[in-house]
Amino acid sequence: GNSVTQMEGPVTLSEEAFLTINCTYTATGYPSLFWYVQYPGEGLQLLLKATKADDKGSNKGFEATYRKETTSFHLEKGSVQVSDSAVYFCALSRDNQGGKLIFGQGTELSVKP
Amino acid sequence: DAGVIQSPRHEVTEMGQEVTLRCKPISGHDYLFWYRQTMMRGLELLIYFNNNVPIDDSGMPEDRFSAKMPNASFSTLKIQPSEPRDSAVYFCASSSFGSDRGTQYFGPGTRLLVL
């Protein structure tokens, strides 16, 4: 079946450090891939997405590339800020599942000044 | 656009009471999703609707939970009777699959505490 696996958290970094959060998926065909972010006390909000192989999604300094050959969609940011502290969710959507998202378990990021 | 609207934002109730959570999706969206989030189980999809019709309710934990969508602009999730283990944050999300390839937009959530 379809599934998403993320690296376990929490991840603790110093401000301006480089961030990578790993995400791999299992799915047939060509799913769309997403990263959502959840700030404390809030709902999830879309951070970026990619809908086909080799696409790169980017937003707010974050980026992720859809790698079909490694079934991965790793999230990266060159220089994190304290305000990036949140929980990050990787997700996939299959066209034949009507927009239903399959989420990873989430990775908590804590950035220290 | 106002985004997905949920009410109430916080609910505290006693075990055995009926709880009703409400959601107004983004206008024009044809899918609506209900999720539950807890520390122990993470984010769980409870049920989702397409054009007001329930498509998949396999995530609904038991018969105490029910969800309805009487029209395109309103949905409810009801728990009757409530139990302490139902304490969680409940999120509603909506999407327009045809135009946005499955991007879901989440509401702020309802924090439910059952005593």
Taking all residues of chain A, what is their mean pLDDT, rounded to a whole number?
93
| Tokens encoding A9 | 């958290």
Strand partners, B56: B48
> Is B25:B73 a contact under the CB 8 Å cutoff?
yes
pLDDT at position A23 is 97
pLDDT at position B6 is 97
> Is A109:B46 a contact under the CB 8 Å cutoff?
no
Residue A85: pLDDT over 90: yes
CA distance B89 to chain A (A): 9
* Section A61-83 average pLDDT: 97
Residue B35: pLDDT over 70: yes
- Concatenated DSSP letters for B32-43? EEEEEEETTTEE
The 10s digit of each residue's pLDDT in A29-44 is 889 999 999 999 899 9
Q: Is B99 helix (H, G, I), strand (E, B) or coil?
A: helix
Residue B99: pLDDT over 70: no
* Section A56-81 average pLDDT: 97
pLDDT at position A72 is 97
Report yes or no: A107 at the B interface, CB cutoff 8 Å. Answer: no
> Is A92:A30 a contact under the CB 8 Å cutoff?
no
pLDDT at position B1 is 65
d(C-alpha A52, C-alpha A97), whole Å: 17
Contact between A32 and B56 using a beta-carbon 8 Å cutoff: no
* Section A19-24 average pLDDT: 97
A73 or B41, which is more confident: A73
pLDDT at position A8 is 87
Dihedral angle sign, alpha carbons of residues A57, A74, B102, A60? negative
B-chain CB neighbours of A93 within 8 Å are 101-102
Among A19-33, A94-108, B78-92, the least confident range:
A94-108
Report yes or no: A51 at the B interface, CB cutoff 8 Å. Answer: yes
Model confidence at A96, pLDDT cuts 50, 70, 90, reads low
- Concatenated DSSP letters for A27-43? -SS--EEEEEEE-TTS-
A110 or A98, which is more confident: A110
The backbone region for A66, taken as left when phi is positive above 0, alpha when psi lies in -120 to 50, beta otherwise, is: beta
Report yes or no: A59 at the B interface, CB cutoff 8 Å. Answer: no
Taking all residues of chain B, what is their mean pLDDT, rounded to a whole number?
93
CA distance B68 to chain A (A): 18
| Tokens encoding B6 | 């949920």
* Section A79-85 average pLDDT: 97
| Tokens encoding B47 | 């049920």
